[in-house]
A and B are shown apart, each in its own frame.
Chain A
Amino acid sequence: MFGELCVKCKGRLWCGLPKCPILEAAKNYMPRLKINPGDIFGLSPPSIFVGRFGYPNVLAGPLVSQSEDSSVIADTSNLYGKDLDFVMKNTSSLLRASIKVNVKKPYGKIIDATQEISMSTKPLDTEVQVEKIRMSPSLDTFFHPTGPLIIPRKVDVVDNPAIPRKVDNVVEERLKANKVIIELYNYGLSVDYIQRILSAGVLGFDKKLVPTRWSITAVDDAIGKYLLEKIRNYESINEIQYYSNSFMGNEFHILLIPGAWEFEMLESWLKGAIYSPGKTIIGEDYEPYSGRKKYADNITGAYYAARLAVEEHLESIRRQARVIIYREITPDYKLPLGVWIIRETVRHAMFGTPTKFDSIDSAIEYISKKVKVEEWKKKSKIIYEFKHQKTLFDFQN
């Protein structure tokens, strides 16, 4: 049963089973949390979660830590470089206080508190009166892991949120959500923050809740498309460059080739990695210069997170390129930690100094020595085109 479907589906239950057997098994790696009886007085980092099961009637609410330790991580960019124990300890200690709500009717005191928390840039003291606790922690391929689900009777924010004035303004203005995302990004707010307030339903015309999983890709994609509009006008890089980085069993090989923007991401789930227990599976998604219109179904959210990270680099050097990202997922990636892993690992790869090559063949040969699966280069559309498709430059005397 475990096969290509699992690699594409990543916990979306395409197999028809009531629970994803892979994710359920992976939960064994998560720490068992001791929950003190009674009501919870803790900090929200700040963080919220909006589920997608049962859409449009979903579970939504804040994430609250039991401890009052303010070092709990609010922004996933701070999780980069930490070890698995640290990441697990911090993320799965966050209790998911959630109530069932229709995404189009995000009203009520608990949702008000959720929205308030989403907009804050600093941790908030939060009090949760507990109705019921479900002990199982949660895993999601897009968001970081979280702790047990709590059905709250009441949620009180006993602190004043710190909301950037810019955010207050755009919330009032009722602009299109995509426009606001770009404005806030240019204002310097993090992808995590923008994703959080998008999912909380404070943006856009209709101000509805957006499942966390969808909001992550929506923000990566919206900013990515915006950066692309700029990048397409820049000169090309003038040499073949290779960047790499590895984090928690995710090994990235990034090739930038001179030419007009194109983007391709390939993934090998090595035998024994989370979604490919039985055999190695390779997936690929590609977009031409004009960009893509359909969802990147093979790579899914990782595609948009990786694309954004490379685009941020190209924007910073004001150049365009044809980009190939090859990701090998090793058995060290024991459980899905969220697409922030991809965004941050590629961002940090691009901070490094590239290795430069005279020819595509020498670059491929170099990369081949570093990877475990050779097939990626045969699956790459950009490499195939580069070798076979001539340009008019080749005939310009």
Chain B
Amino acid sequence: MRVKMDVKDVKEITNLLLTLVSEAKFEFNQSGMSVKAVDAAHIAMIVLDISKEGFIEFESEDAEIGVDLEKIKSMLKIAKSSDVVEISKEGSKLTFQIGNLTRSMALIDASALTVPKVPNIGLPAKVVIKRDDFINGIKAADNISDSITLEVTPTEFEMYSVGDEDVSKLTLPKDMVKEIECAEPVKSTYPLDYLMKLAKAIESTEYVTVYLGKDYPVKIVFEISKGNGKVTYLLAPRIEGE
């Protein structure tokens, strides 16, 4: 396995996975790469699929690579976002080359990392909004409550958080979203800390697609690697009441 990718893209992939796990199994085949990870509490799951066009160079047979994500993150700190990194696997070592700099790391036994089963979740409502709106709606809820509610109606999309005294709310009427599909209003509430971490890790996509149901997991879909990769993030809801 030998691939080349923009440092910026590797950073985003690493940061996204680190919102849920510290180690992950990357699955390569001839047409691209995919990763599935679920957090220990099974509250959220992330699925990344990147086609080989998302890489600058891509040569790979079928391979499973277990990686310590914290190590990648610390290594990338010394690289500039405009750099290109070459990643190659030889034996049980993974080598990163950035310019004149190389760093090798031991792989983690991939068989010890379980790949989660992705639940098949049907969700009735869909809204496509700007990434910045999505991030602002989440960040506005910080320090207000530990949960945030997402609501879609046929005419608008709302994100709000209600604390003991304070309230935050982002309202996007139909004409301020790219797309809205909703037959009847639905809403669900989610743990804010998960979405805060996600909001800090999403970088390159222009739009975010949110699929929503009533007291059901949310599915958040967006692009990475210049449109050649897709991220699906699933998050289980909180049920309010005693």
Closest residue of chain B to A289, judged by CB?
Answer: B40
Chain A residues with CB below 8 A from B69, complex form = none
User: Are B217 and A395 interface neighbours, CB within 8 A?
Assistant: yes
Within 8 A of A (CB), among B106-133: 117, 119-121
CA distance A390 to B42 in the complex (A): 9
Q: Which of B40, B191, B241 contacts A261 (CB 8 A)?
A: B40
Question: Among the listed stretches B48-56, B177-185, B230-238, which one makes contact with chain A, having 4 or more residues with CB under 8 Å of it?
Answer: B230-238
Task: Say yes or no: B217 contacts A392, CB within 8 Å.
Answer: yes
Asked if B239 and A390 make an inter-chain contact with CB atoms under 8 angstroms apart, the answer reads yes
For the complex, is A86 an interface residue (Cβ under 8 Å from B)?
A: no
* Residues in chain B near residue A56, CB distance under 8 A: none
CB of A287 to closest CB in B, whole Å: 13
B44 at the interface (CB under 8 A from A): yes
Contacts of A261 in B (CB 8 A): 40
- CB-CB under 8 A from A397, the residues of chain B are 119-120
A395 and B236 contact, CB distance less than 8 A: yes
A374-397 vs B: 1/0 string, CB under 8 Å? 000000000000001111111111
Q: Are B238 and A396 in contact (CB under 8 A)?
A: no
Residues of B within 8 A of A393 (CB): 42
Given A395-B217, A397-B119: A388 in contact with B41 (beta carbons within 8 A): no
Q: Does A58 contact B (CB under 8 A)?
A: no
Confirm or deny: A208 has a beta carbon within 8 angstroms of a beta carbon on chain B: no
- Secondary structure of the A contact surface, majority rule: loop
Known A232-B40, A260-B40; contact A389-B217, beta-carbon cutoff 8 A:
no
Near B by CB (< 8 A), chain A positions 253-274 give: 259-262
How many B residues, CB 8 Å from partner?
Answer: 22
Return the contact of A392 from the options B42, B191, B239, B240 (Cβ within 8 A): B42
| Partner pick for B236 among A259, A262, A390, CB 8 A cutoff | A390
**CB contact list, B33-91 vs A, under 8 A:** 38-45
* Chain A residues near B38 (CB-CB < 8 A): 392
Question: Which residues 1-25 of A have a CB within 8 angstroms of B?
Answer: none
The answer to whether A394 and B236 have CB atoms under 8 Å apart is yes
Q: Is the CB of B236 within 8 A of A389?
A: yes
Q: A396-B117, A396-B119 are in contact. Are A391 and B239 (CB under 8 A)?
A: no
Give B127-162 interface residues, CB cut-off 8 Å to A: none
CB of B222 within 8 Å of the partner chain = no
B191 touches A395 (CB 8 A): no
Contact status A395-B43, CB under 8 Å: no
Q: Does B216 contact A (CB under 8 A)?
A: yes
| Chain A neighbourhood of B119, CB < 8 A | 392, 395-397
Given contacts A392-B217, A395-B236, A396-B119, list 16 more A-B pairs with CB under 8 A.
Answer: A259-B41, A260-B40, A260-B41, A262-B41, A388-B240, A389-B43, A390-B239, A391-B43, A391-B236, A392-B38, A392-B43, A392-B119, A392-B234, A393-B42, A395-B121, A395-B217
Q: Can you list the 7 inter-chain pairs with the closest CB atoms, starting with the nearest?
A: A260-B40, A391-B42, A396-B119, A390-B236, A289-B40, A388-B238, A260-B41
